[in-house]
Amino acid sequence: MRRELFESEHEAFRDTVRTFVTKELVPHVQEWEEAGQVSREAWRAAGAQGLLGFAVDDEFGGGGVDDFRFNVVFDEELVAAGVSGFGSPLHNDIVAPYLMRLANDEQKQRWLPGFCSGELISAIAMTEPGAGSDLQGIRTTAIRDGDEYVLNGQKTFISNGIMSDLVIVVARTDPDAGHQGISLLVVERDMPGFERGRNLDKIGQKSQDTAELFFHDVRVPARNLLGEEGQGFVYLMQNLPQERLSIGVAAIASATKILELTKDYCRERTAFGRPIGKFQNTRFELAEMATEVEIGQVFADRCVCDHVRGELSVEHAAMAKWWLSELNKRVIDRCLQLHGGFGYMTEYPVAKAYLDSRVQTIYGGTTEIMKEIIGRSMGF
Protein backbone atom coordinates (compact mmCIF):
# COMPACT_ATOMS: atom_id res chain seq x y z
CA MET A 1 0.00 0.00 0.00
CA ARG A 2 1.06 3.61 -0.51
CA ARG A 3 2.07 5.28 2.73
CA GLU A 4 2.61 9.01 3.18
CA LEU A 5 4.17 8.75 6.61
CA PHE A 6 7.85 8.68 5.65
CA GLU A 7 10.17 11.11 3.92
CA SER A 8 13.35 10.41 1.98
CA GLU A 9 15.57 10.42 5.07
CA HIS A 10 13.41 7.76 6.70
CA GLU A 11 13.60 5.51 3.65
CA ALA A 12 17.38 5.96 3.50
CA PHE A 13 17.49 5.06 7.18
CA ARG A 14 15.40 1.96 6.45
CA ASP A 15 18.09 0.72 4.10
CA THR A 16 20.69 1.16 6.85
CA VAL A 17 18.52 -0.65 9.38
CA ARG A 18 17.70 -3.49 7.00
CA THR A 19 21.38 -4.05 6.27
CA PHE A 20 22.20 -4.06 9.99
CA VAL A 21 19.37 -6.43 10.91
CA THR A 22 20.23 -8.81 8.08
CA LYS A 23 23.93 -8.88 8.89
CA GLU A 24 24.09 -8.57 12.67
CA LEU A 25 20.85 -10.02 14.00
CA VAL A 26 19.19 -12.52 11.67
CA PRO A 27 22.09 -15.03 11.62
CA HIS A 28 21.91 -15.34 15.41
CA VAL A 29 18.15 -15.59 15.97
CA GLN A 30 18.05 -19.35 16.54
CA GLU A 31 21.07 -19.21 18.84
CA TRP A 32 19.40 -16.47 20.91
CA GLU A 33 16.08 -18.30 20.99
CA GLU A 34 17.82 -21.29 22.55
CA ALA A 35 19.83 -19.14 24.96
CA GLY A 36 16.81 -17.10 26.07
CA GLN A 37 18.53 -13.78 25.41
CA VAL A 38 20.46 -11.90 22.77
CA SER A 39 24.16 -11.14 22.99
CA ARG A 40 25.71 -7.98 24.34
CA GLU A 41 27.71 -7.81 21.13
CA ALA A 42 24.47 -7.21 19.24
CA TRP A 43 23.63 -4.28 21.51
CA ARG A 44 27.07 -2.74 21.05
CA ALA A 45 26.83 -3.24 17.29
CA ALA A 46 23.48 -1.42 17.28
CA GLY A 47 25.02 1.40 19.26
CA ALA A 48 27.98 1.66 16.92
CA GLN A 49 25.56 1.88 13.99
CA GLY A 50 23.66 4.76 15.65
CA LEU A 51 20.51 2.71 16.22
CA LEU A 52 20.12 3.41 19.93
CA GLY A 53 18.92 6.73 21.30
CA PHE A 54 17.70 8.41 18.11
CA ALA A 55 16.25 11.34 20.01
CA VAL A 56 19.06 11.69 22.56
CA ASP A 57 21.19 14.83 22.13
CA ASP A 58 24.29 14.22 20.05
CA GLU A 59 26.50 15.47 22.90
CA PHE A 60 25.66 12.20 24.66
CA GLY A 61 26.16 10.04 21.57
CA GLY A 62 22.57 10.00 20.37
CA GLY A 63 21.07 10.87 17.03
CA GLY A 64 19.79 14.26 18.16
CA VAL A 65 16.59 13.90 16.13
CA ASP A 66 13.32 13.66 18.05
CA ASP A 67 11.24 12.06 15.31
CA PHE A 68 9.38 8.88 16.26
CA ARG A 69 9.24 7.84 12.61
CA PHE A 70 12.84 6.64 12.90
CA ASN A 71 11.74 4.40 15.78
CA VAL A 72 8.92 3.10 13.60
CA VAL A 73 11.33 2.19 10.80
CA PHE A 74 13.57 0.21 13.16
CA ASP A 75 10.59 -1.54 14.77
CA GLU A 76 9.11 -2.48 11.39
CA GLU A 77 12.36 -3.89 10.08
CA LEU A 78 12.82 -6.07 13.16
CA VAL A 79 9.34 -7.51 12.63
CA ALA A 80 9.89 -7.99 8.90
CA ALA A 81 13.05 -9.99 9.62
CA GLY A 82 11.40 -12.12 12.31
CA VAL A 83 13.67 -10.77 15.07
CA SER A 84 11.34 -10.72 18.07
CA GLY A 85 13.82 -10.78 20.95
CA PHE A 86 16.12 -7.81 20.41
CA GLY A 87 14.98 -5.31 23.05
CA SER A 88 15.64 -2.08 21.18
CA PRO A 89 11.93 -1.10 21.01
CA LEU A 90 11.86 -1.16 24.81
CA HIS A 91 15.17 0.72 24.96
CA ASN A 92 14.35 3.36 22.31
CA ASP A 93 10.57 3.69 22.47
CA ILE A 94 9.80 3.17 26.15
CA VAL A 95 12.82 3.91 28.35
CA ALA A 96 14.46 6.70 26.34
CA PRO A 97 11.67 9.26 26.92
CA TYR A 98 11.97 8.88 30.70
CA LEU A 99 15.72 9.52 30.65
CA MET A 100 15.53 12.36 28.15
CA ARG A 101 12.69 14.25 29.82
CA LEU A 102 13.29 13.55 33.49
CA ALA A 103 17.03 13.02 34.01
CA ASN A 104 18.97 15.99 35.30
CA ASP A 105 22.28 17.08 33.77
CA GLU A 106 24.38 14.90 36.08
CA GLN A 107 22.23 11.82 35.40
CA LYS A 108 22.37 12.40 31.65
CA GLN A 109 26.16 12.57 31.80
CA ARG A 110 26.24 9.29 33.75
CA TRP A 111 23.75 7.25 31.81
CA LEU A 112 23.05 8.50 28.29
CA PRO A 113 26.45 7.82 26.62
CA GLY A 114 26.28 4.15 27.63
CA PHE A 115 22.59 4.03 26.74
CA CYS A 116 23.41 5.16 23.18
CA SER A 117 26.51 2.99 22.76
CA GLY A 118 24.76 -0.21 23.85
CA GLU A 119 27.02 -0.58 26.89
CA LEU A 120 24.09 0.10 29.23
CA ILE A 121 20.98 -1.95 28.51
CA SER A 122 17.81 -0.55 30.02
CA ALA A 123 14.53 -1.80 31.44
CA ILE A 124 11.52 -0.41 33.27
CA ALA A 125 9.98 -2.31 36.18
CA MET A 126 6.29 -1.63 36.69
CA THR A 127 4.51 -4.97 36.91
CA GLU A 128 4.34 -6.91 40.17
CA PRO A 129 2.86 -10.32 40.97
CA GLY A 130 -0.23 -8.56 42.34
CA ALA A 131 -0.31 -5.48 40.11
CA GLY A 132 -0.27 -5.46 36.33
CA SER A 133 -2.37 -2.98 34.38
CA ASP A 134 -3.46 -1.37 37.68
CA LEU A 135 -0.34 0.66 38.44
CA GLN A 136 -1.91 2.16 41.54
CA GLY A 137 -1.81 -1.31 43.07
CA ILE A 138 1.98 -1.56 43.30
CA ARG A 139 3.45 -2.47 46.68
CA THR A 140 7.20 -1.99 46.16
CA THR A 141 8.40 0.69 48.58
CA ALA A 142 11.34 3.10 48.63
CA ILE A 143 11.62 4.86 51.97
CA ARG A 144 13.94 7.85 52.27
CA ASP A 145 16.83 7.43 54.73
CA GLY A 146 19.17 10.38 54.59
CA ASP A 147 20.77 10.56 51.17
CA GLU A 148 19.39 7.18 50.12
CA TYR A 149 16.15 5.34 49.48
CA VAL A 150 15.73 1.87 50.97
CA LEU A 151 14.02 -0.16 48.25
CA ASN A 152 12.03 -3.32 49.00
CA GLY A 153 9.72 -5.32 46.79
CA GLN A 154 9.38 -7.58 43.79
CA LYS A 155 8.73 -7.07 40.09
CA THR A 156 7.87 -9.62 37.42
CA PHE A 157 7.56 -10.00 33.63
CA ILE A 158 10.34 -7.42 33.19
CA SER A 159 11.64 -7.34 29.61
CA ASN A 160 15.43 -6.97 29.39
CA GLY A 161 15.34 -7.99 33.05
CA ILE A 162 18.31 -10.35 32.94
CA MET A 163 20.60 -8.20 30.82
CA SER A 164 19.64 -4.74 32.05
CA ASP A 165 22.22 -2.40 33.57
CA LEU A 166 19.76 0.39 34.32
CA VAL A 167 16.26 -0.37 35.63
CA ILE A 168 13.67 2.35 36.18
CA VAL A 169 11.77 1.01 39.17
CA VAL A 170 8.27 2.21 40.02
CA ALA A 171 8.00 2.35 43.80
CA ARG A 172 6.01 3.95 46.61
CA THR A 173 8.03 6.64 48.36
CA ASP A 174 4.95 7.54 50.43
CA PRO A 175 2.85 4.41 51.05
CA ASP A 176 -0.07 6.47 52.40
CA ALA A 177 -0.38 8.98 49.57
CA GLY A 178 -2.07 6.82 46.91
CA HIS A 179 -0.97 7.57 43.37
CA GLN A 180 0.70 10.77 44.61
CA GLY A 181 3.15 8.65 46.59
CA ILE A 182 4.67 6.89 43.56
CA SER A 183 8.17 7.77 42.37
CA LEU A 184 10.73 6.50 39.85
CA LEU A 185 14.17 5.31 40.94
CA VAL A 186 16.98 4.14 38.67
CA VAL A 187 18.55 0.95 40.04
CA GLU A 188 21.94 0.06 38.62
CA ARG A 189 23.44 -3.37 38.07
CA ASP A 190 25.17 -4.94 41.09
CA MET A 191 23.65 -2.65 43.71
CA PRO A 192 23.69 -4.74 46.93
CA GLY A 193 20.31 -6.35 47.56
CA PHE A 194 19.24 -6.19 43.91
CA GLU A 195 18.71 -9.74 42.67
CA ARG A 196 17.40 -11.20 39.45
CA GLY A 197 15.26 -14.30 39.50
CA ARG A 198 14.92 -16.80 36.71
CA ASN A 199 14.69 -15.95 33.05
CA LEU A 200 11.00 -16.69 32.63
CA ASP A 201 10.01 -19.45 30.19
CA LYS A 202 7.45 -17.92 27.82
CA ILE A 203 5.46 -19.42 24.95
CA GLY A 204 6.88 -16.83 22.54
CA GLN A 205 9.55 -14.16 22.16
CA LYS A 206 11.99 -16.70 23.50
CA SER A 207 15.11 -14.60 22.91
CA GLN A 208 13.70 -11.61 24.81
CA ASP A 209 14.99 -12.08 28.35
CA THR A 210 12.08 -11.58 30.75
CA ALA A 211 12.80 -11.76 34.46
CA GLU A 212 11.63 -11.52 38.02
CA LEU A 213 13.44 -8.79 39.97
CA PHE A 214 13.86 -8.71 43.75
CA PHE A 215 14.85 -5.78 45.94
CA HIS A 216 15.96 -6.50 49.51
CA ASP A 217 16.92 -3.32 51.36
CA VAL A 218 18.58 -1.92 48.25
CA ARG A 219 20.09 1.41 49.19
CA VAL A 220 19.53 3.57 46.13
CA PRO A 221 21.29 6.95 46.22
CA ALA A 222 18.85 9.87 46.26
CA ARG A 223 20.69 11.19 43.20
CA ASN A 224 19.12 8.26 41.29
CA LEU A 225 15.62 9.65 41.79
CA LEU A 226 14.24 10.28 38.30
CA GLY A 227 12.23 13.48 38.18
CA GLU A 228 10.43 14.66 41.30
CA GLU A 229 9.40 12.54 44.24
CA GLY A 230 5.70 11.71 44.20
CA GLN A 231 5.28 12.45 40.49
CA GLY A 232 5.96 8.92 39.21
CA PHE A 233 2.35 8.11 38.37
CA VAL A 234 2.04 11.31 36.34
CA TYR A 235 5.23 10.47 34.44
CA LEU A 236 3.95 6.99 33.67
CA MET A 237 0.67 8.35 32.32
CA GLN A 238 2.57 10.83 30.14
CA ASN A 239 4.83 8.17 28.61
CA LEU A 240 2.43 5.25 28.23
CA PRO A 241 0.85 6.56 24.97
CA GLN A 242 4.18 6.19 23.12
CA GLU A 243 4.67 2.72 24.61
CA ARG A 244 1.21 1.68 23.44
CA LEU A 245 1.72 3.18 20.00
CA SER A 246 4.99 1.25 19.71
CA ILE A 247 3.14 -1.98 20.41
CA GLY A 248 0.53 -1.08 17.82
CA VAL A 249 3.21 -0.32 15.23
CA ALA A 250 4.82 -3.72 15.76
CA ALA A 251 1.41 -5.41 15.63
CA ILE A 252 0.37 -4.03 12.27
CA ALA A 253 3.84 -4.70 10.86
CA SER A 254 3.48 -8.32 11.95
CA ALA A 255 0.02 -8.67 10.43
CA THR A 256 1.28 -7.19 7.16
CA LYS A 257 4.26 -9.52 6.99
CA ILE A 258 2.34 -12.71 7.77
CA LEU A 259 -0.44 -11.83 5.35
CA GLU A 260 2.11 -11.38 2.54
CA LEU A 261 3.72 -14.72 3.34
CA THR A 262 0.32 -16.37 3.41
CA LYS A 263 -0.65 -14.94 0.02
CA ASP A 264 2.54 -16.45 -1.42
CA TYR A 265 1.79 -19.77 0.26
CA CYS A 266 -1.75 -19.80 -1.18
CA ARG A 267 -0.36 -19.28 -4.68
CA GLU A 268 2.07 -22.18 -4.33
CA ARG A 269 0.18 -24.74 -2.24
CA THR A 270 -2.16 -26.98 -4.24
CA ALA A 271 -5.16 -29.04 -3.23
CA PHE A 272 -7.50 -30.99 -5.48
CA GLY A 273 -5.35 -30.09 -8.46
CA ARG A 274 -5.21 -26.31 -8.09
CA PRO A 275 -3.65 -23.62 -5.87
CA ILE A 276 -5.63 -23.15 -2.67
CA GLY A 277 -5.83 -19.43 -3.49
CA LYS A 278 -8.22 -20.36 -6.32
CA PHE A 279 -10.87 -21.52 -3.85
CA GLN A 280 -13.49 -18.89 -3.07
CA ASN A 281 -13.22 -19.34 0.68
CA THR A 282 -9.48 -18.68 0.56
CA ARG A 283 -9.93 -15.60 -1.61
CA PHE A 284 -12.59 -14.24 0.70
CA GLU A 285 -10.41 -14.82 3.76
CA LEU A 286 -7.47 -13.07 2.12
CA ALA A 287 -9.70 -10.23 0.90
CA GLU A 288 -11.07 -9.62 4.38
CA MET A 289 -7.62 -9.65 5.96
CA ALA A 290 -6.13 -7.40 3.27
CA THR A 291 -8.88 -4.85 3.88
CA GLU A 292 -8.50 -4.93 7.66
CA VAL A 293 -4.71 -4.69 7.51
CA GLU A 294 -4.84 -1.71 5.15
CA ILE A 295 -7.32 0.07 7.40
CA GLY A 296 -5.14 -0.74 10.40
CA GLN A 297 -2.02 0.64 8.72
CA VAL A 298 -3.77 3.90 7.85
CA PHE A 299 -4.85 4.36 11.47
CA ALA A 300 -1.41 3.43 12.80
CA ASP A 301 0.26 5.93 10.47
CA ARG A 302 -2.20 8.62 11.48
CA CYS A 303 -1.41 8.01 15.14
CA VAL A 304 2.33 8.20 14.42
CA CYS A 305 1.83 11.54 12.62
CA ASP A 306 -0.20 12.84 15.54
CA HIS A 307 2.52 11.72 17.92
CA VAL A 308 5.28 13.41 15.91
CA ARG A 309 3.25 16.64 16.15
CA GLY A 310 2.74 16.14 19.88
CA GLU A 311 -1.00 15.62 19.41
CA LEU A 312 -1.53 11.90 20.09
CA SER A 313 -4.29 11.56 22.65
CA VAL A 314 -4.40 8.98 25.42
CA GLU A 315 -7.59 7.57 23.90
CA HIS A 316 -6.19 7.18 20.38
CA ALA A 317 -3.06 5.51 21.74
CA ALA A 318 -5.31 3.08 23.61
CA MET A 319 -7.36 2.48 20.45
CA ALA A 320 -4.23 1.78 18.43
CA LYS A 321 -2.83 -0.55 21.06
CA TRP A 322 -5.88 -2.74 21.55
CA TRP A 323 -7.29 -2.79 18.03
CA LEU A 324 -4.02 -3.35 16.18
CA SER A 325 -2.82 -6.03 18.58
CA GLU A 326 -6.17 -7.84 18.42
CA LEU A 327 -6.14 -7.48 14.62
CA ASN A 328 -2.67 -9.01 14.47
CA LYS A 329 -3.76 -11.91 16.65
CA ARG A 330 -6.81 -12.50 14.47
CA VAL A 331 -4.93 -12.23 11.17
CA ILE A 332 -2.14 -14.58 12.22
CA ASP A 333 -4.64 -17.14 13.49
CA ARG A 334 -6.49 -17.12 10.17
CA CYS A 335 -3.24 -17.24 8.21
CA LEU A 336 -2.09 -20.23 10.24
CA GLN A 337 -5.37 -21.98 9.37
CA LEU A 338 -4.75 -21.37 5.68
CA HIS A 339 -1.32 -22.99 6.05
CA GLY A 340 -2.99 -26.15 7.31
CA GLY A 341 -0.69 -28.59 9.10
CA PHE A 342 2.40 -26.70 7.97
CA GLY A 343 1.23 -23.68 9.91
CA TYR A 344 1.58 -25.68 13.12
CA MET A 345 5.25 -26.36 12.44
CA THR A 346 7.64 -23.93 14.13
CA GLU A 347 9.91 -23.84 11.08
CA TYR A 348 7.23 -21.78 9.35
CA PRO A 349 7.22 -18.03 10.17
CA VAL A 350 3.48 -18.04 10.76
CA ALA A 351 3.90 -20.44 13.69
CA LYS A 352 6.60 -18.32 15.33
CA ALA A 353 4.55 -15.17 14.77
CA TYR A 354 1.53 -16.89 16.33
CA LEU A 355 3.50 -17.48 19.53
CA ASP A 356 5.46 -14.22 19.54
CA SER A 357 2.49 -11.92 19.01
CA ARG A 358 0.11 -13.37 21.60
CA VAL A 359 1.45 -11.18 24.39
CA GLN A 360 0.70 -7.96 22.50
CA THR A 361 -2.88 -7.85 23.78
CA ILE A 362 -1.55 -8.15 27.34
CA TYR A 363 1.59 -6.10 27.92
CA GLY A 364 1.49 -2.33 27.90
CA GLY A 365 -2.04 -2.58 29.33
CA THR A 366 -4.50 -5.31 28.42
CA THR A 367 -7.15 -4.95 25.75
CA GLU A 368 -9.75 -4.71 28.49
CA ILE A 369 -7.93 -1.82 30.19
CA MET A 370 -7.57 -0.02 26.85
CA LYS A 371 -11.33 -0.24 26.32
CA GLU A 372 -11.87 1.06 29.84
CA ILE A 373 -9.66 4.08 29.10
CA ILE A 374 -11.57 4.80 25.90
CA GLY A 375 -14.92 4.30 27.57
CA ARG A 376 -14.07 6.73 30.37
CA SER A 377 -12.92 9.32 27.82
CA MET A 378 -16.44 9.15 26.36
CA GLY A 379 -17.91 10.18 29.69
CA PHE A 380 -19.01 6.76 30.90
CA distance 322 to 369: 9
Torsion of CA 311, 62, 360, 230, to 10 degrees: -70
CA distance 341 to 320: 32
CA distance 317 to 273: 47
Task: Report yes or no: 324 and 300 within 8 Å, Cβ to Cβ.
Answer: yes
Q: First and final CA of the chain: distance in angstroms?
A: 37
- Sign, CA dihedral 103-109-115-119, equals negative
Residue 80, Cβ density class (10 Å: 0-12 exposed, 13-18 middle, ≥19 buried): middle
Which position among 77, 243, 292, 347 bears the catalytic label? 243
Spatial neighbors of 111 by CB under 8 A, at least 6 apart, are: 99, 103, 120, 166, 186
CA distance 175 to 181: 6
Query: Is 34 assigned a catalytic role?
Result: no
Instruction: Count other C-beta atoms under 10 Å from residue 119's C-beta.
Output: 14
Closest of 135, 121, 132, 209 to residue 165, by C-alpha? 121
Catalytic residues: 243
